[in-house]
């Protein structure tokens, strides 16, 4: 799930974390006109859920900051699923380029 990590913050409550600016696709994100901050990664997560994993909708929440992406909830399996999908994007420039293009074509606004 690298560079994301899943932590149990309190018993039965989990957070999926990504330190913004620590991925293999940061330069690409900037080339595409975005800032690879926590808010951008929230947009990535929203697109993943909307387009590729609609079964995750309503099973987690987001709380990003400038320097960190955070999704949280009590459904560990949902966070693991999202983490695996986001890890693939964070490590594959072609997949990230495709996701951003699909988002922009559909009118999605990244909040970065």
What local confidence, expressed as pLDDT, does residue 93 receive? 97
What local confidence, expressed as pLDDT, does residue 111 receive? 86
CB atoms < 10 A from the CB of 96, how many?
A: 22
CATH topology of domain 5-105: Ribosomal Protein S8; Chain: A, domain 1 (3.30.1370)
pLDDT in tens, 23-65: 999 999 999 999 999 999 999 999 999 999 999 999 999 999 9
Residue 67 has pLDDT above 90, yes or no: yes
What local confidence, expressed as pLDDT, does residue 62 receive? 98
pLDDT in tens, 80-103: 999 999 999 999 999 999 999 999
H helical segments located in the chain: 26-31, 38-47, 76-90, 93-105
What SS3 class is residue 9?
strand
Give the sign of the dihedral formed by CA 88, CA 64, CA 24, CA 50: positive
Backbone φ and ψ of 65, nearest 5°:
-135, 175
Tokens of 3: 């560079």
So where are the chain's domains?
5-105
């Amino acid at each position: 799930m690298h560079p994301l990590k899943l932590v149990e913050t309190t018993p039965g409550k989990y957070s999926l974390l990504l330190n913004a600016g620590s991925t293999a696709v940061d330069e690409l994100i900037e080339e595409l006109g975005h800032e690879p901050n926590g808010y951008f990664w929230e947009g990535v997560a929203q697109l993943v859920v909307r387009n590729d994993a609609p079964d995750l909708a309503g099973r987690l929440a987001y709380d990003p900051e400038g320097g960190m992406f955070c999704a949280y909830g009590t459904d560990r399996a949902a966070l693991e699923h999202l983490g695996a999908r986001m890890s693939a994007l964070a490590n594959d420039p072609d997949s990230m380029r495709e996701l951003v293009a699909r988002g922009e074509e559909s009118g999605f606004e990244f909040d970065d």
